[in-house]
Amino acid sequence: MDTLPAEGSARPVDYVWAIARISLGWIFLWAFLDKTFGWGFATPAERAWTAGGSPTTGFLKGTGENALGGLFSGLAGQGWVDWLFMLGLLGIGAALILGAGMRIAAVTGGLLLILMWAAELPLTTNPFMDDHVVYAVVLAGLALAGAGDTLGVGARWGRTALVRRLPILK
């Protein structure tokens, strides 16, 4: 039976999970930054959120012909959807990079990714599997592996009175 390593000692696999956590966190945080400021990678400056653009319109408007397109395209550009999406990207990205709040980041990130997957149905290159589903599975693995404890503040965060009282915040 596997046992957890003594506090302060990390196994090589813990570093792999930590690097995966930070990498995936950067994907979420970068999406937030590029959509906010329009740095020209996925979002041109004139469509930036700070320039009055909608961070959800491009993706969700493109779902109109898909199986659930009517539902998702109707949400495109609504202020509350933009705010919820952007706060989600920022919160999930920050939690993953810091290694704190991994459980909430895994659940909310997984939900966001599965909704994005559903918006694209039917998939064009595979009957059901794409990167959204893979990332959702990785998020679950990160939370279950305690990946925030290595190269992150997860261990210290987990010892706070707040997290001891509300373990979901781990």
Per-residue pLDDT of 139-166, as tens digits, reads 999 999 999 999 999 999 999 999 999 9
The answer as to whether 7 is a domain residue is: no
C-alpha 61/C-alpha 130 separation (Å) is 20
> What is the count of structural domains for the chain?
1
Banded pLDDT at 68 (limits 50, 70, 90): confident
Closest CA to 35 of 59, 7, 11: 59
The answer as to whether 125 is a domain residue is: yes
Q: List the domain range (segments joined by +) for residue 133.
A: 12-169
- The Cα angle at residue 88 between residues 80 and 161, in degrees rounded to 5: 120
Q: Is this model's pTM higher than 0.85 or not?
A: yes
The answer as to whether 4 is a domain residue is: no
* pLDDT score of 69 more than 80: no
67's CB contacts (< 8 A; 6+ apart) are 121, 122
The answer as to whether 47 is a domain residue is: yes
